[in-house]
Homo-oligomer: A and B are copies of this chain.
């Protein structure tokens, strides 16, 4: 397997040339204090070293050996504890954290790239710090000062990790019917009792304490999602002098044996009269969770992308080395590799198709991820209209980031495996591990079907199309700005058609849903993908614009880079954007064919 190389040049291109993040950082006072281009570059370069040198080498072994469970004790795979210590000592656990409690306060645009690197190197490892960072976000936003002083500081320091305890075996995605109970105690704390499943990092040996954020219901809570509260439940209670106190009856009942992410502990967690502390208001636990949700869900999208990036690097190296067959045009154009008994498989159109699919979709996903992360930064650090717009776009596009990137990520790990032929199916090459690891990203943190409903029903229909309009206005403004740029017309013409069709499809679905709400459920998945390809066309057009202009301006060392970008943009518009045609036809076909058939006839 190829050694992982962090695509730093791609990241700088997006940050400074396409999205001009450094201008934004300068402009927003809260960010200007923390970050500038120089700091950002140093962070990315140092993080790349961790990913390439510390995490990449332990990933295969982590898959083969996995986590082990005995008598309630979870032991991580060899090398994980050392890697985690190196990671924490480097200060990476504080990267996106609140500066008032020891965090570094870096913007999401940077932490997103940091997550990509970690996950390309080893998704299983990454989940421990990434989940902790997610829990820290909720705590930072909704926790009391006392809780933050006591717990958040130690989480940022890398001393303690965290887990999110939502799912219960009977309820799955339907959090409204969870059964974990929280009984108020005289000292203001709560006694938490219940069982949670699928808890990533619920138990392990990387840190001395684990901070669980647990959804539970008070005995008199309203039924459904409006009766859920969020509690902080530590594995070990913490004494007033900040030393660890007594065991809090938080136990791991077992770990799951899974298709992939073998080195990530997926735990059944049992809480038995465990001491918990309320985060935020009673019965508003879901709202506290949603604070982190947009960050986490983009993060999961990035996991899908990460696996595909790794798969592409491996597949490209393999394709260049592998000699098999001759080019189709050998007879007319001469044999390409006459000194060898065969050409490299790069000569075959179908191999190029798979590689270019991966390249175009990966680079498109990374660009779109940067765009959405930028909106989250506006939502967090800007004010007034700019803040509202950022918040709107981030909320609108988060389900796309989660579901679209992971669907494409899985597709692309499979494509990278296919390039290897039979060797892709063999464990030692590592390509099949990427497929198995990537697969979970379409499922957890809200299945992609749930994301599609979040997009179409909650966001688009819920705002009567207003949220969508914020996005299409932005795209249409960009399109108009290119109207006199002849070189851009090959990208702008299909982009304009895609936006028009998306708007028209939205109107059609929202109108039909007035008569039958099932229209939304029936078309949500297609709709999300139509939106995804359209949004990706937008960022590809932006990348093409920058690259064309760089090509005109200079003939320096970056030329190959920009030439590659323009070619890849062209490939996206020619071969991939047409995927929307079938999706639109399917989305428009109505819900009758889904619902007219009785359950018994399946």
Q: Which residues of B are found within 8 Å of A596, using beta-carbon distances? A: 567
Q: Pick the interface stretch among A51-59, A210-218, A388-396, A514-522.
A: A514-522
Q: How far is the CA of A452 from the CA of B353 in the complex (A)?
A: 13
Q: How far is the CA of A197 from the CA of B425 in the complex (A)?
A: 13
Q: How far is the CB of A313 from chain B (nearest CB, A)?
A: 10
Residue pair B518, A349 in contact (C-beta under 8 Å)? yes
Q: Is A246 positioned at the interface, with any CB of B under 8 Å from its CB?
A: no
Q: Which residues of B are found within 8 Å of A594, using beta-carbon distances? A: 349, 352-353, 356, 571, 575
Interface readout for A559-592 with B: 1 if CB under 8 Å, 0 if not? 0100110011011001110111111011001110
Q: Is A477 positioned at the interface, with any CB of B under 8 Å from its CB?
A: no
Interface residues of A in 302-354 (CB under 8 A from B): 316, 320, 322-325, 328-329, 332, 341-342, 344, 346, 348-354
Q: Which residues of B are found within 8 Å of A595, using beta-carbon distances? A: 349, 352
Q: How far is the CA of A563 from the CA of B344 in the complex (A)?
A: 53
Residue pair A517, B332 in contact (C-beta under 8 Å)? yes
Q: Is A436 positioned at the interface, with any CB of B under 8 Å from its CB?
A: yes
Residue pair B322, A172 in contact (C-beta under 8 Å)? yes
Q: Pick the interface stretch among A94-102, A254-262, A537-545.
A: A254-262
Q: Pick the interface stretch among A19-27, A183-191, A269-277, A440-448.
A: A440-448
Q: How far is the CB of A76 from chain B (nearest CB, A)?
A: 19
Q: Which residues of B are found within 8 Å of A323, using beta-carbon distances? A: 170, 174
Q: Is A400 positioned at the interface, with any CB of B under 8 Å from its CB?
A: no
Interface readout for A414-452 with B: 1 if CB under 8 Å, 0 if not? 100110011011111000100110011011100111001
Interface readout for A525-542 with B: 1 if CB under 8 Å, 0 if not? 100000000000000000
Q: Which residues of B are found within 8 Å of A344, using beta-carbon distances? A: 599
Q: Is A366 positioned at the interface, with any CB of B under 8 Å from its CB?
A: no
Q: How far is the CA of A198 from the CA of B423 in the complex (A)?
A: 9
Residue pair B342, A177 in contact (C-beta under 8 Å)? yes
Q: Decide yes or no: A601 and B418 within 8 Å by CB, A352-B595, A353-B525, A443-B424 being known contacts.
A: no
Q: How far is the CB of A451 from chain B (nearest CB, A)?
A: 10
Residue pair B349, A599 in contact (C-beta under 8 Å)? no
Kindly identify which residue among B350, B418, B567, B568 contacts A524, using a CB–CB cutoff of 8 Å. Answer: B350
Q: Decide yes or no: A564 and B352 within 8 Å by CB, A328-B518, A574-B589, A582-B581 being known contacts.
A: no
Residue pair A560, B601 in contact (C-beta under 8 Å)? yes
Residue pair B257, A448 in contact (C-beta under 8 Å)? no
Interface readout for A287-308 with B: 1 if CB under 8 Å, 0 if not? 0000000000000000000000
Q: How far is the CA of A525 from the CA of B349 in the complex (A)?
A: 10
Q: How far is the CB of A592 from chain B (nearest CB, A)?
A: 8
Q: How far is the CB of A259 from chain B (nearest CB, A)?
A: 4
Kindly identify which residue among B167, B350, B525 contacts A449, using a CB–CB cutoff of 8 Å. Answer: B350
Kindly identify which residue among B350, B516, B578, B599 contacts A346, using a CB–CB cutoff of 8 Å. Answer: B599
Q: Is A497 positioned at the interface, with any CB of B under 8 Å from its CB?
A: no
Q: How large is the interface on A (under 10, 10 to 19, 20 to 34, 35 or more residues)?
A: 35 or more
Q: Which residues of B are found within 8 Å of A410, using beta-carbon distances? A: 414
Residue pair A259, B602 in contact (C-beta under 8 Å)? no
Residue pair B325, A173 in contact (C-beta under 8 Å)? yes
Q: Decide yes or no: A435 and B349 within 8 Å by CB, A571-B594, A578-B586 being known contacts.
A: no
Residue pair B582, A568 in contact (C-beta under 8 Å)? no
Q: How far is the CA of A582 from the CA of B316 in the complex (A)?
A: 26
Q: Decide yes or no: A435 and B439 within 8 Å by CB, A574-B589, A578-B589, A591-B349 being known contacts.
A: yes
Q: How far is the CA of A55 from the CA of B153 in the complex (A)?
A: 56
Residue pair A517, B597 in contact (C-beta under 8 Å)? no
Residue in A352, A354, A571 whose Cβ sees the most chain B Cβ within 10 Å: A352
Q: How far is the CB of A425 from chain B (nearest CB, A)?
A: 5
Closest to A575 in B: B586
Residue pair B447, A421 in contact (C-beta under 8 Å)? yes
Kindly identify which residue among B324, B560, B589 contacts A172, using a CB–CB cutoff of 8 Å. Answer: B324
Interface readout for A494-526 with B: 1 if CB under 8 Å, 0 if not? 000000000000000000000011101111110
Q: Is A453 positioned at the interface, with any CB of B under 8 Å from its CB?
A: yes
Residue pair A174, B564 in contact (C-beta under 8 Å)? no
Q: Which residues of B are found within 8 Å of A348, using beta-carbon distances? A: 449, 521
Q: Is A385 positioned at the interface, with any CB of B under 8 Å from its CB?
A: no
In the complex, given contacts A257-B428, A418-B443, A575-B594, what are 20 additional A-B residue pairs having Cβ atoms less than 8 angstroms apart?
A: A172-B322, A172-B324, A174-B323, A198-B422, A258-B425, A259-B436, A328-B457, A328-B517, A328-B520, A346-B602, A350-B453, A350-B525, A353-B522, A353-B594, A356-B593, A356-B602, A421-B443, A564-B602, A567-B601, A571-B593
Residues of A within 8 A of B (CB): 167, 170-174, 177, 197-198, 256-260, 316, 320, 322-325, 328-329, 332, 341-342, 344, 346, 348-356, 359, 410, 414, 417-418, 421-422, 424-428, 432, 435-436, 439-440, 442-444, 447-449, 452-453, 457, 516-518, 520-525, 560, 563-564, 567-568, 570-571, 574-576, 578-583, 585-586, 589-591, 593-597, 599-602
9 sampled A-B residue pairs with Cβ under 8 A: A172-B422, A257-B428, A349-B522, A356-B597, A422-B444, A425-B443, A567-B597, A574-B590, A581-B582
The 10 A-B pairs of least Cβ separation, nearest first, read A349-B521, A578-B585, A564-B601, A259-B432, A350-B449, A582-B582, A349-B522, A567-B597, A174-B324, A257-B427
